[in-house]
Amino acid sequence: MSALFNFQSLLLVLLLLICTSAYAHYVFPGIMDRNRDGVFGIFWKCARIGERLSPYVSICCVAMAISMMASS
């Protein structure tokens, strides 16, 4: 089953995208800041979400981990 058709998997993919983009922006800020527009602008926007809403993102990651443990 694709992640697009399973809501929990879609949320997991979005959380991983946000966390990975925030980490990549921390490690390579010049590359991320150059690509604010276009297709790669999605990663820049996800990095901003991860940086500004980090307490909420971390709570969502813990909640997803608990729900994944409970479902398996």
Check: CB of residue 11 under 8 Å from CB of residue 61.
Answer: no
Give the C-alpha separation, 11 to 15, whole Å.
Answer: 6
Which pLDDT value is given to residue 4? 63
Mean of pLDDT values over 31-38: 83
Q: What is the pLDDT of residues 2-32, one digit of tens each?
A: 656 788 888 888 999 999 999 999 998 888 8
pTM above 0.85, yes or no: no
Check: CB of residue 2 under 8 Å from CB of residue 24.
Answer: no
Amino acid letter for position 38? G
**Cα dist from 11 to 5, 18, 43, 62, 63, whole Å:** 11, 11, 16, 13, 11
Q: Is the pLDDT of residue 54 over 90?
A: no
